[in-house]
Structure 1
Amino acid sequence: MSLTNHLSSKESPIRQFIYECAPQLALAGTRGRRGHVVASSFGFDELLALRTQLPIPEEVKDRKSHAVVAGMALDYRLRMDLPGFNFVETVAQRGLDILAADPGVVHRGKHIHKVLNDAFNFAYLTLQKRDSHPLNLARASVPLAWCESIARTGPYEALSGELGRRIKQAKDAVDLMLSIDDSLLVDIAVMRDAVEPLLDAWNRGIEAGGDYVPNPRFLGSVAVGGADADWAVGDMLVDLKTREEITSSWIRDTLFQLLGYALLDLDDSLGIRRVGILLPRQPYFAAWTLDDLLDEDASEALPSLRADFAVLLTNKG
């Protein structure tokens, strides 16, 4: 079971443990005056007041599918602008490998793998070109998102619907890449441009010697289905969210997800002391210290919390 699924289940001992680590955060945004006061103390009001400036384009019919692909593709598009982006080390590559190992799990699996693999290579070549057009870079990020969906949900689930039909109908990778909707490409490109100042700041910090780990996994990840985050920049764990509607309950849930990741870093290999949520549709970047979320000194509290969490994760099965 994934960390997200654990956090969605009130019966999960993993959820219960994480919530008990941050009792004040658990109250934030709940009904009543106290819930509102606590939410304000965590800065929820600033996020709730945000206006969505970059909504999903009006012409998009299947908004849910668009949102999922746009979010994953944007993650890749932003990583392309940060140091050391390596196609081979991505979850997208893992998805391709999973399909290659058993293409028979879906109808015309060998064809699907070949077309996706060629599209993957197209993305690689696009990134190698100097001064590639922004829409070409956005296009290059989409097959990576498709391949990642195979790793996340499995080949059958990811390819038994519209995506599988689209790839099977494509004669080759060029045909597939040209079939990507312009609305999706523009959406990715404009969201990327909206967060460019933050990318520039991160790049300056990394060039000055700051730590940077894309798509970090944690020592405890294997116990919850291989949990991974978007980026670790310096001492901050960052999650990208392309959500349009922001609510108190959603902010709280997202912060618990990030806190869960921080606790899964059992050996403190990333030195996480802050967490951040990047909201490109607003656009806005919000950050919190672990001191604030835990309501105590994180450096003092984390060793014992992680030790207890490790025991729980070990005994879970």
Structure 2
Amino acid sequence: MSLTSELDRQDSPVRRFLLEAIALVSDAKRGSSHEQRAKALLESDALPREPSLVPVPRANPSTVGTAFDYRLRYDMSPFSSFNTVAAASLNVLGTGDQTLRSTITDFLEATDTLVENLGPDQCDLTRDEDRQLIRHCVVLAQLESIVRSGGRYQHLSPLRPDLLDGAPESVVTDVAALHAPALVNFGPRRQLIQQQALAHWPNPTFAGSAGIGGADADMIVGNEIIELKTTKTLDPKALRSALTQLVGYCLLDYPDQFQLRAVGVYFARHRWTRTWPLWMFLFPTREVLDWVDHDNPPAEQVVAKRLGELRSQMRAAVDTPRT
């Protein structure tokens, strides 16, 4: 189970709570008295419907999305591949097969060495260097898919002695095309991270994550949590879904560990990105509109108090027994 799975379940208490609690997202649907104003704040009526970067034929969309996430995280700051979801494949696959365990371990070590040598967080890579790192990201994505599927990996069977041989060129090409404009978009954040003006947490989990089977976000930069999307579809429903997921992550941060105060989305195929202050999604829409109209956002103590209330309700929803 995960936050995404919870939101997909019609009978989930977490889904029910979030859909009721995040008023601005709910009011952006048809029929609300605040529909037009809510849509304007989300900019959901001006979305680019057609992707500017179409998928490469035969490139697995799920693998592309996860590999793109890894590649962009490496632009922000270095991290050990042994601290990724992909590394958990050692426990899923490598417990009874020492050869396979050694193959995965060697790959993770080689990935860390490559990242250290290339320094993607410090400089732009050449085309060949970029594709080399992307190929490693594709394998990380494949290993992560094994973990998230509970060890089912028939689509990758048999795993090759050199895992990099199993990275399809179609996926590498697709990720490379998505990554180039994303690097430009995330350039200002990257520079602030380099200057140590902002912190970066790749693939963070939260205090409440374990309660729903391990909810993990794409990245946090400073006080902004960011969702990365590589889907062909960007419509109001897709945007509302992404925002609900992001606010859900914020509410799973029960002790306010990350001090999240903004949510952002990046739809890579459409090159469309936006950031909103978190408080817009915490209060009734009529209050949000009043603050916006008077250009007078709520004070931090008001936001913190409201966050505490909603997090308590989120915890109760997470702890509700599943039928």
TM-score tier, shorter chain, comes to 0.7 to 0.9
The 3-state SS of whatever aligns with 2:75 is coil
> Does structure 1 retain, via aligned residues, the 8 Å contact 2:135–2:172?
yes
Q: Deviations over 1:115-156 (max 9, x none)?
A: 44433333233323346611111111111111111221211x
- The structural deviation recorded for 1:31 is 6.2
> Retained in 2: the 8 A contact 1:112–1:164?
no
CA–CA separation in structure 1 for the residues paired with 2:134 and 2:80: 17
- State the distance in 2 between where 1:42 and 1:205 align: 26
1:309 deviation in Å?
Answer: 2.1
Question: Partner residue of 2:265?
Answer: 277
Structure 1, 209-218 or 266-275: larger mean CA deviation: 209-218
The one of 206, 218, 227 equivalent to 2:215 is 227
Q: Which residue of 2 aligns with 1:308?
A: 313
Partner of 1:79: 73
Q: How does 1:239-250 map to 2 (within 5 A)?
A: 239-250=227-238
Give secondary structure in 2 for the equivalent of 1:237.
Answer: strand
CA distance in 1, matches of 2:239, 2:18: 16
2:281 partner SS: helix
CA shift, 1:193, in A, is 0.9
In the alignment, structure 1 segments of 5+ residues that lack a partner are 104-108
Alignment of 1:174-193 (within 5 A): 176-193=163-180
Distance across 2 between alignment mates of 1:100 and 1:282: 39
Query: CA 1:119/1:235 → structure 2, altered by over 3 Å: closer, same or farther?
Result: same
User: SS of 2:157's equivalent?
Assistant: helix
Match of 1:67 in 2: 61
Shift of 1:290: 1.6
Partner residue, 2:88: 94
121, 130, 135: which is aligned to 1:139? Answer: 135
Tell me the residue number matched to 1:106: none
For the residue of structure 1 that corresponds to 2:276, the secondary structure is: strand
The one-letter code sitting in structure 1 at the alignment partner of 2:170 is S
The alpha-carbon deviation at position 34 of structure 1 amounts to: 6.3
Look up the match of 1:150. 146
| TM-score between both structures, scaled by the size of structure 2 | 0.83
Query: In the aligned structure 1, how far is the partner of 2:212 from the partner of 2:218?
Result: 16
SS in 1 for 2:94: helix
RMSD: 2.3
Give the Cα separation in 1 of the matches to 2:75 and 2:170.
Answer: 22
- Distance, in Å, in 1 between the alignment partners of 2:15 and 2:117 is 45
Which structure 2 segments of 5+ residues have no match? Answer: 119-124, 289-297
Structure number with the bigger relative contact order (C-alpha 8 A, sep ≥ 6) is 2
Q: 1:293 to 1:129 in 2, by over 3 A?
A: same
**What is the alpha-carbon distance in structure 2 between the residues aligned to residue 290 and residue 275 of structure 1?**
6
Q: Which moved more, 1:127-136 or 1:182-191?
A: 127-136
Match of 2:275 among 259, 274, 287: 287
Using the alignment, how far apart are the partners of 2:86 and 2:211 within structure 1?
21
| Structure 1 residue 277: Cα displacement | 0.9
Secondary structure at 1:129 match in 2: helix
- The residue type paired with residue 304 of structure 1 is E
* Aligned residues of 2:82 and 2:108 also touching (Cα < 8 A): no
Query: What is aligned with 1:4?
Result: 4
CA distance in 2, matches of 1:302, 1:179: 45
Note closer, same or farther for the CA distance 1:30–1:113 as it changes in structure 2 (3 Å cut). farther
Contact residue 94 and residue 100 of structure 2 kept, 8 A: no
Shift of 1:228: 0.8
Residues 143-176 of structure 1: per-residue CA shift (max 9 Å, x gap): 1111111221211x2x1x22123x2xx3x21xx4
TM-superposed CA distance for 1:178, in Å, is 3.2
Q: Is 2:152 the counterpart of 1:164? A: no
Secondary structure at the counterpart of residue 223 of structure 1? helix
CA shift at 1:17, angstroms?
Answer: 1.2
User: Alpha-carbon deviations, 1:231-280, whole Å to 9, x = none?
Assistant: 11111100111011112111111111111101000111111111111112
User: Which residue in the other structure is 1:49 paired with?
Assistant: 48
Q: Are residues 1:211 and 2:205 paired?
A: no
In 1, Cα distance between equivalents of 2:273 and 2:37? 22
Letter in 2 for 1:21: A
- Residue 84 of structure 1 and its aligned partner are, at CA, apart by 3.2
**Which is richer in helix?**
1
Q: Percent identity?
A: 28
TM-score (norm 1): 0.85
Distance 1:98 1:235, change over 3 A: same
